[in-house]
Structure 1
């Protein structure tokens, strides 16, 4: 879930600078994993992370030139301070920068396919029965 927050911050930042009309961008993050996934060095694992990665890459293609760089946590103190202020429920304004609470994720919810609880017979059914219970079907063809 921590990577979700990193992706959310990146996605929202990309949206803001696109609205401002920025065409060339160097974005910096202290999340080495997210930077490497976006830059193609590490494959995204899991359907949720894959959705975040695709959303980020879609936004990056809207820039004339964009680059994502990794910075150490020590060099990212200004961003951390903004994140802490933004996470306070009572914070409404930071100077002239309005803060808002994001109620829903930037990515769609993952649909889960329902699986029947009653297993249907397949070519593996008799093999599994033999392995687990030692039973052999009466039908010679199936037994073979």
Structure 2
């Protein structure tokens, strides 16, 4: 569960198609949260986990001796470096009832979660696959290029009508680390993507929700909740 400073909650469920220990499952959940918040361009994150062992391993208080856990920890630390501020805190399960209930539901079936919760099935451990492409791809050949050129260099298209449209649109966008983001009133800044990038996201969404059959609006809403425009 991701909770914004304003208290808005975003729920996200994982289902594993491989056997895990409790500690491995805790790391997979933490890993998913770190990747998702990184994709949303969140700079400061406080993570709450109900495993004191995991919290202490991430902070360096305890040493990870199991080889598999060492791989998870290495990936966690790699992702944590991308945040300007990161804290992790152990909470008792009694203080984590919503997330705990969500995990129990997800372990049984996704069918009744599809309308309310973003769901994803993991076929392999996160440490066994390369991290997902950052979706940079062909941004300089898409609808985003005129906006990026204007925001970065003040350049406008020669066509006066198109140039005027860019000037009107520009205040709703921002550039950060070479990537374009759009302001949206219901979510954090949304990462703008082109056609090739959108195809990858849609394919992953279809695979992740196990045959999701909602209408186009629901599908778009879920993609926006993931942080893409």
TM-score (norm 1): 0.70
Rg bigger for which structure?
1
Say whether 1:73 aligns with 2:73: no
Per the alignment, residue 59 of structure 2 pairs with 39
- Aligned 8 A contact 1:28 1:71 in 2: yes
Per the alignment, residue 142 of structure 1 pairs with none
- Aligned 8 A contact 1:92 1:99 in 2: no
Residues in 2 aligned to 1:108 and 1:58: alpha-carbon distance in whole angstroms? 15
CA RMSD of aligned residues (A): 1.6
The C-alpha deviation readout for 1:62-89, integer Å capped at 9, x for no partner, is 1010101000110011110121122123
- Aligned 8 A contact 2:50 2:93 in 1: yes
For the structure 1 residues 94 and 81, does the alpha-carbon distance in structure 2 shift closer, same or farther, using more than 3 Å as the test? farther
Per the alignment, residue 27 of structure 1 pairs with 47
TM-score (norm 2): 0.45
Residues in 1 aligned to 2:82 and 2:112: alpha-carbon distance in whole angstroms? 30
The C-alpha deviation readout for 1:90-135, integer Å capped at 9, x for no partner, is 43634443212111101028xxxxxxxxxxxxxxxxxxxxxxxxxx
- Aligned 8 A contact 2:48 2:89 in 1: yes
Residues in 1 aligned to 2:128 and 2:120: alpha-carbon distance in whole angstroms? 20
Which runs of structure 2 are paired with 1:1-144 in the superposition (5 Å)? 1-91=21-111, 93-108=113-128
Per the alignment, residue 122 of structure 1 pairs with none
- Aligned 8 A contact 2:110 2:119 in 1: no
Residues in 1 aligned to 2:36 and 2:63: alpha-carbon distance in whole angstroms? 26
Residues in 1 aligned to 2:114 and 2:98: alpha-carbon distance in whole angstroms? 13
- Aligned 8 A contact 1:85 1:91 in 2: no
Query: How many residues end up aligned between the 2 structures?
Result: 109
For the structure 1 residues 100 and 92, does the alpha-carbon distance in structure 2 shift closer, same or farther, using more than 3 Å as the test? farther
Residues in 2 aligned to 1:51 and 1:90: alpha-carbon distance in whole angstroms? 29
Please identify which structure carries the higher strand content.
2
